[in-house]
Amino acid sequence: MFGRWAGLLLLLLAGPAVAAPTPAFQAAVDAAALRGFAGEIGLSDRTATLDHRAVSAPGHPHATGEVWRWASVTKQITATLAMQEVAAGHLSLDDTVAARLPAFGGATGGQITLRMLLQHTSGLPNPDDTGAADDKQMPAFYRRPRLGSGRASDALGYCAGKPKAPPGAGFAYNNCDFIVLGAILERSSGKPFAALVQGRIAGPLGLRSLKVATGTGEPATVRGRLDAATPEPAFHLATFGASGAVYGTAADLLAFDRGLLSGRLLDAKATATAWAGDPRLGYVALGVWAFPATLRGCAGEVRLVERRGEIGGVEVRNILAPDLGRALVVFADRSDLDFGEIWQGKGLSFDLASAAFCA
């Protein structure tokens, strides 16, 4: 069956890999292509990239080294910066928004803690609620130029508006949580969020492509599709701020993962805190989900740390298996691709993770 598709689907391997791909991982990538996947897939251990390849589809060529928006993987970076501040004693997870960002005028700022922001239990307004009449359009919040800093910032404007729920009432995914957290990090450190990413993440790890969108001009990243025929809508990446404005290559995301797995970015205590999934909240941890999973080929459960993201027509999956010292990175150029759920024991994410971590 694959022979009939061979002329339509082009798999481009990266430069020399540290280790040859296993047949199981090769088969999982081939199967992903048959399901309509196009983009980049990479696999790393604690020290080096093991496999990195691009997958093209008719009319949508890809090559390794392309620049992708990291979408909500930005939240994983923001959480890492927050835990660095906590480890240094500059912040506490029990600090309130009102205490750490006095200019925040939200009615519940005195009750919302940094932990609530990191776990999406703050009850803050949700920018996604500024939706357009056409569900294929981006919510209005993200279609305007970034408002800037000071009193004009989103953290002190929209996100300080009428709360949707009492703090701590339950999990509700919300970009305002990390937009506000980004403002707290800026005040705590005295540096803009983009400078923090460069100084504490990109610089120490040597990540040359890693950047944060900060202006009205859009960075030259891979453009996605909503489905096979529908291009993604227009938006301003900078308006996602500390919740989604980071972009860079797949290779740099693998290097970021190595920084986490090797302890270069956070010490063991901070890492354990960040990756402690709460079963009561669906295993949400701090900026990620951390949960035990049963994978094909592994004897017993595997502890996974997952961060996923989507902006426009681009999907990203960043999945770490800390106890195995491996990380899987997936970028896709269409948002209707069915990744499935790992806990269901089937689907694209399950198949790729099983091949990456258990083959």
pLDDT in tens, 249-276: 999 999 999 999 999 999 999 999 999 9
Q: What is the mean pLDDT of residues 41-56?
A: 94
Delineate the domains of the chain, giving CATH numbers in brackets.
68-257 (3.40.710.10)
Long-range contacts of 266-274 (CB under 8 A, 24+ apart): 266/80, 266/83, 266/84, 266/87, 267/87, 269/87, 270/83, 270/84, 270/86, 270/87, 271/83, 273/83, 273/86, 273/93, 274/79, 274/80, 274/83
CA–CA separation, 225 vs 221, rounded Å? 13
Under a CB-based contact definition with an 8 Å cutoff, are residues 149 and 193 in contact?
Answer: no
Q: What is the percent of the chain with per-residue pLDDT over 70, rounded to a whole number?
A: 91
Over residues 173-227, the pLDDT tens digits come to 999 999 999 999 999 999 999 999 999 999 999 999 999 999 877 889 999 999 9
CA–CA separation, 16 vs 3, rounded Å? 26
pTM attached to this predicted model:
0.92
pLDDT band at 6 (very low <50, low <70, confident <90, very high): very low
